[in-house]
Amino acid sequence: MATLSSSDAAHFLRRVGFGGTTSEIAAYTGLTREAAVAQAMDFTAAPAVVPPADLANENQWWAHSNAIDWWLHRMADTTHPLQEKITLFWHNHFCTGQSAISSMADMFTQNQLFRPAGPGNATGVGLGNFRDLTREVSFGGAMLVYLNNDTNVKGREQENFARELMELFTVGVGHYTEADVVAMAKAWTGHNIIGWVTDHNDTTYRFYPTKHDNTNKSLFGGSSSLLYGAQPRNWNALETIEELVFGLKQADTARYVARKMYKFFIGDSPSDAAVQDLATAWIAGGMEIAALVQATLLHADFWAAESRYAIVRSPIDWIVATLRRTGYRFKVNSAEGRNFIEGMGQVPFDPPNVAGWKMNGYWLSTATAWARGNFSSWMRWKVAVGGDLATQLLPLKAAANGKVALTAADAITTLFDYLGIADPSPATRARFEAWYTSANTSANGWSIRGNALMIGLVSPDFQLA
């Protein structure tokens, strides 16, 4: 079996997390791929989930701001980053947004569903069965309100959720018809929420039998259901999920979700054969999400040379990687994290729409580069004088505190090791060494440290995973 080199380990940790430290990379080096994947997927010793404060704050802007910092810090602090990476994947698959529903309590409940089970989160379904995850999300307050199924009743059908359940959550475009949307919406009538109670909107799920359409309906062309027999029939909501995951549409669902997972963990252009590999493994694994994740991380494409540094880090990935490397954490009740990440275009708990954030090359733009540059410039003053970087990177003149200045070659090695990049590109290396040689003749040590960090954070190499 193939074992991981240090370069393999660094690649693995960039994809299953937010980049590995020197010690983490060393710990994975020498493991087989199977052992590395098993270790990364074991969350029994993950840090316990402690909910963010103020979820029920009447000022939901502040509740959201504090939850943003809470999740960014959890991603930066965790010793089990794949748990958070999977949570982020599902957040961008089953999209809902705080700006639309204005309930951080519901958004956090959904976040816990997405997170694979571990300490403080025994009910997480992020690595469970896809049917169960789809069911729990669909009947959750956040989704019911976000896609308007809270108002879907017999005679006044609301089709938003019915459409997106198929188009974005399961089978994908081209694998359902407008007739399916109509029938699906009717099957979901009466699956609403408690609603307004005294002084608040109670988003707890409730089924109202009198508001449900009990007529017979046909889904997916009216073919006999593999699970429920002849059609038309009086479909109910739970049965439609079963049919999408285990019935007539299983193969379409498996391929659609597998393609998204490939793009998230491996790269932007999966072949149909690779997608089928993952879908086949997932179906064989009973549609357990753990089977799909394992198949993805063990696929030959994941480890291929062309997959290295082939994904552009999203703002969340990039900012968490920065926090992990520098040790900086946003001040409590400051909205620092929100202010910066809003400018980068990816606000946790608030995707732009039900289709979620775009991936990869979408983040290569002037606006996002400018926002990352602003954050990098701000960060240099936060960590340049003290902390880990100040002790690791010492480009001081020989007369300063008895320290000897690092050579340009040693300085870039030290900086990029610090940033978790063992092999910066020749172009990055040449430009950094030229800057460093010039700066070290005139600047003082603390300014060089800060500017070196800023250059590293905005380098092309650090934008990639």
Q: What is the pLDDT of residues 263-313, one digit of tens each?
A: 999 999 999 999 999 999 999 999 999 999 999 999 999 999 999 999 999
Q: At what angle do helices 336-344 and 60-77 cross, to 10 degrees?
A: 80
Q: What is the mean pLDDT of residues 51-70?
A: 91
pLDDT, tens digit, 9 for 90 and up, residues 392-428: 554 433 334 444 567 888 888 888 888 888 788 999 9
The answer to the question of residue 45 being in a domain is no
Residue 399: its pLDDT value, please?
35
Intra-chain end-to-end CA distance of the chain, in Å: 25
Is residue 208's pLDDT more than 50? yes
Confidence of residue 381 (pLDDT cuts 50, 70, 90): confident
What pLDDT score does 445 carry? Answer: 58
3-state SS class at 217: strand
Examine residue 216 and state whether it is found in any structural domain, yes or no: yes
* Whether residue 257 is found in the same domain as residue 393: no
Q: Are residues 154 and 299 in the same domain?
A: yes
**pLDDT surpasses 90 at 196:** no
| Side chain identity, residue 211 | K
Domain that holds residue 223: 129-266+269-310
Task: Give percent of the chain above pLDDT 90.
Answer: 76
**Eight-state DSSP code of residue 222:** G
Residues 157, 162: Cα–Cα separation, whole Å = 10
The one-letter amino acid at 422: A
Question: Within a domain: residue 186?
Answer: yes
pLDDT value for 443: 57
Closest CA to 115 of 106, 128, 103: 128
Report the alpha-carbon distance of residue 188 to residue 183 in Å, rounded.
9
Mean pLDDT of 435-461: 81
Identify whether 39 is part of a domain.
no
| Residues 291 and 423 both lie in one domain | no
On whether both 303 and 393 belong to a single domain, the answer is no
Output phi, psi for 191, to 5 deg. -90, 85
- Nearest to 341, CA basis, from 356, 327, 322, 358: 322
Is pLDDT above 70 for 385?
Answer: no
Please tell me the predicted confidence (pLDDT) of residue 392: 52
Q: Count structural domains, the chain.
A: 2
* Cα–Cα distance measured from residue 35 to residue 308, given in angstroms and rounded to the nearest whole number: 20
User: Alpha-carbon dihedral of residues 409, 410, 412, 413, nearest 10 degrees?
Assistant: 110
> Same structural domain for residues 304 and 419?
no
pLDDT of 186: 98
pLDDT at 191 over 90: yes
- Asked if the structure places residue 420 within a domain, the reply is yes
Q: What is the spatial distance between Cα 453 and Cα 374, in angstroms, rounded to a whole number?
A: 13
- 354 within a domain of the structure (yes/no): no
* Shared domain check, 371 and 306: no
Q: Which of 321, 334, 465, 357 is nearest to 70 (CA)?
A: 334
412 vs 235: CA distance, rounded Å: 63
- Summarised one tens digit per residue, pLDDT across range 131-155 is 999 999 999 999 999 999 999 999 9
Does one domain contain both 302 and 369? no
**pLDDT, mean of residues 103-117:** 96
Let me know if residue 50 belongs to a domain: no
**Per-residue model confidence (pLDDT) at position 160:** 98
For position 446, what pLDDT does the model report?
Answer: 61
Instruction: Band the pLDDT of 122: cuts 50, 70, 90.
Output: confident
- Mean pLDDT, the chain, rounded, equals 92
Q: In this predicted structure, what is the pLDDT of residue 382? A: 77
| 419, 280: one domain | no
- DSSP at 464: B
**What is residue 402's predicted lDDT score, i.e. its pLDDT?**
44
Would you say residue 220 has pLDDT above 80?
yes
Q: Is residue 182 assigned to a domain? A: yes
Residues 372 and 285 grouped into a single domain: no
CB 320 within 8 A of CB 75: yes
Q: What is the pLDDT of residues 312-369, one digit of tens each?
A: 999 999 999 999 988 899 998 899 999 999 999 999 999 999 999 999 999 998 989 9
Q: How far is 465 from 456, CA to CA, in rounded Å?
A: 14
